[in-house]
Amino acid sequence: MRATVVFSVLPSGMRHLLFSPRRVALKGAVLALALLFVLQSPQANQIEEKKSMNVKKITPVLLVDEIEPILPFWINRLGFTKTIEVPEGNRLAFVAFQKGSVEVMYQTYASVEKDAPPAMAAAARKGPTYLYLEVDNLDAVLLAMKDVQKVMPERTAFYGMREFAVQDPSGHFITFAQHIPTP
């Protein structure tokens, strides 16, 4: 109905300019160019970049009252190397451990409360973290943890993993697991 009104309002000499085959083709070309520019815009590229993002690494940061008690757990029992330590006074505020490409970090609640925004700091003491570590030799880990209380005894899970769990000295739960090859 609107097109009819617009069409009838135009003087007859102008109607052919607006609706001629040449004009329709020109409008199509302009529309195609406009779409091309929109698709080439930074926003369109950002969407593509998000789709193609690869995660290089993910590292858990476990929060604790104090770091010193967990040092022997990771270094002596599991063979990790301490790669970073940040002191605060005569104590440690932060530490990172690494073994191969695997890394885990610990930070004290006091350090988080100083560094993090209030909303993050307030949520810091909500509870323990659960880590799931896949290893290539569960027997070696069992031997290293022989005198540590198991919070989940060794079992074979339906998803093909032989596993057990302990708590580290700060209360975080750690499950160690090894894939069982299928015959």
Domains of the chain (ranges, CATH numbers): 2-51 (no CATH), 55-126 (3.10.180.10), 128-183 (3.30.720.110)
What percent of the chain has pLDDT above 90?
Answer: 59
pLDDT in tens, 15-53: 444 445 544 444 444 444 444 444 455 555 555 555 667
pLDDT in tens, 67-111: 999 999 999 999 999 999 999 999 999 999 999 999 999 999 999
> Is-contact 94 85, C-beta < 8 A?
yes
Q: Name the band, by pLDDT with cuts 50, 70 and 90, for residue 4.
A: very low
Tokens 């967990």 found at:
70
Task: Give the model's pLDDT for residue 3.
Answer: 47
Closest CA to 83 of 97, 94, 72: 97
Strand partners, 163: 155, 177
Closest CA to 77 of 172, 166, 162, 177: 166
Total-model pTM: 0.67
- Strands laid side by side in the 61-64 sheet: 61-64, 102-108, 91-99, 81-88
Tokens 């973290």 found at:
129
